[in-house]
């Protein structure tokens, strides 16, 4: 009401120039508050009326044994994101768990020197939905909030694919790429995956699993059980790991001990699966509650005996 009276009074007194300046100021303020983005070059050339770019935060690294794999994956994704459509933030997590907003060259992510850059600043995703963004800590003790439209985790293994960080995303209220908390946890823990597949009567490799501490208490008993139940060769692996970390192919019972000890270095649970001679293919599925889209079926060409990613 005050603004209406203000404008009306200026009209009455004939101060049309001041009114025009005032209205222009209000218009600019509205545009600034709603966009806070630069106009695209296409708009300046008259091709498009106005487009706001979405802010995508790519999260890489992670406190995981698969940290190095994440660096390679994230560098590839960052290079291929369309900067005409997206503003890109890169949030790195060091192997010891420090979170840093990084804005330097992608090459430094690949060679693992990114955390030493002057551009790296402490930052974290706020679980407070009212914040709805990235909290960046400044040198003077203050902080800045950067709004984020989509979180894109490119994290492998523990603390990245096991539902841990997905729970944080859920609390933050920010949309994110990938599986939800439950699906991530189920797919990461091979003992849970096997149990659910068995309950659904879905065919799978014969297997057994055990806690590592039980093996160290009575290893001979467990090795005998493996030899009695499974045909060799078998694959011994940590229950919660990926990218072939801690995985061994065992061709004879006497080689089990070393393989089990290696797997136990990466998780408290160990899975032993019977080897299957066959063709391995993969298919990605994208979708939420609505229509799902499946990718073409793919196969990794490899002349090696064991594919290690």
- Exposure string of 277-303, with b = 16+ CB inside 10 Å and e = fewer, is eeeeeeeeeeeeeeeeeeeeeeeeeee
Task: Say what percent of the chain tops pLDDT 90.
Answer: 72
Q: Specify the long-range contacts of residues 234-237, CB closer than 8 Å, at least 24 apart.
A: 234/272, 234/273, 234/274, 234/275, 235/272, 235/273, 235/275, 236/260, 236/262, 236/263, 236/270, 236/271, 236/272, 237/190, 237/263, 237/270, 237/271, 237/272, 237/273
Q: What is the pLDDT of residue 308?
A: 61
148 pLDDT more than 50: yes
151-168: pLDDT as tens digits: 999 999 999 999 999 999
Q: How confident is the model at residue 271 (pLDDT cuts 50, 70, 90)?
A: very high
In the structure, what pLDDT confidence band is assigned to residue 79 with cuts at 50, 70 and 90? very high
Q: What is the helix (H) or strand (E) element at residue 35, kind and residue range?
A: helix 16-35
- Residues 191 and 209: beta-carbon distance below 8 Å: yes
pLDDT of amino acid 277: 86
Q: CB–CB of 81/55 below 8 Å?
A: no
Q: Is the pLDDT of residue 251 over 80?
A: yes
First-to-last alpha carbon distance for the chain, in angstroms, is 65
Give the confidence band of 96 by pLDDT, cuts at 50, 70, 90. Answer: very high
- Would you state the pLDDT for residue 306? 65
Tokens of 11: 């009209």
Q: Report the pLDDT value the prediction gives residue 279, as an integer from 0 to 100.
A: 84
pLDDT at 287: 82
Most confidently modeled range among 12-16, 29-33, 117-121, 279-283: 117-121
Q: What tens digit of pLDDT does each residue of 45-70 get? A: 445 545 689 999 999 999 998 999 99
Identify the band that residue 2 occupies on the pLDDT scale cut at 50, 70 and 90: very low
How would you classify the pairing of strands 150-153 and 143-147? unpaired
Q: Which CATH architecture has domain 55-187?
A: 3-Layer(aba) Sandwich (3.40)
Q: What are the tens digits of pLDDT across the range 172-195?
A: 999 999 999 999 999 999 999 999
User: What is the pLDDT at residue 304?
Assistant: 67
pLDDT above 70 covers a percentage of the chain that reads 81
Q: Check the CA dihedral 186-192-196-201 and report its sign.
A: positive
The CATH superfamily assigned to 190-274 is ATP-grasp fold, A domain (3.30.1490.20)
Asked if the model's pLDDT at residue 30 lies above 60, the reply is no
């Amino acid at each position: 009401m005050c603004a209406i009276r203000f404008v009306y009074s200026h009209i009455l007194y004939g101060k049309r120039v001041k009114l025009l300046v005032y209205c222009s100021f209000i218009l600019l303020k509205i545009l600034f508050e709603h966009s806070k983005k630069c106009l695209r070059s296409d708009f300046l050339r008259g091709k498009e009326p106005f487009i706001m770019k979405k802010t995508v935060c790519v999260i890489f690294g992670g406190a995981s044994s698969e940290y190095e794999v994440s660096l390679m994956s994230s560098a590839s994704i960052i290079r291929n994101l369309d900067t005409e459509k997206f503003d890109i933030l890169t949030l790195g997590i060091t192997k010891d768990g420090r979170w840093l907003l990084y804005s330097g060259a992608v090459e430094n992510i690949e060679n693992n020197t990114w955390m030493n850059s002057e551009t790296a600043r402490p930052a974290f995703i706020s679980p407070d939905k009212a914040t709805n963004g990235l909290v960046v800590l400044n040198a003077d003790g203050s902080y800045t909030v950067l709004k984020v439209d989509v979180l894109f985790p490119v994290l492998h293994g523990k603390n990245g694919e096991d539902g841990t960080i997905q729970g944080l995303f859920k609390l933050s209220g920010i949309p994110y790429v990938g599986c939800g908390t439950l699906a991530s946890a189920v797919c990461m823990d091979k003992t849970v995956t096997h149990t659910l597949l068995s309950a659904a009567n879905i065919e799978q490799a014969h297997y057994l699993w055990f806690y590592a501490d039980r093996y160290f208490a009575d290893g001979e008993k467990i090795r005998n059980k493996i030899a009695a139940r499974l045909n060799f060769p078998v694959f011994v692996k940590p229950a919660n790991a990926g990218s072939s970390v801690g995985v061994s192919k065992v061709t004879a019972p006497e080689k089990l001990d070393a393989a089990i000890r290696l797997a136990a270095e990466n998780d408290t649970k160990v899975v032993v699966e019977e080897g299957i001679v066959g063709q391995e293919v993969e298919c990605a599925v994208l979708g939420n509650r609505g229509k799902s889209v499946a990718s073409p079926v793919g196969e990794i060409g490899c002349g090696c005996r064991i594919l290690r990613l």
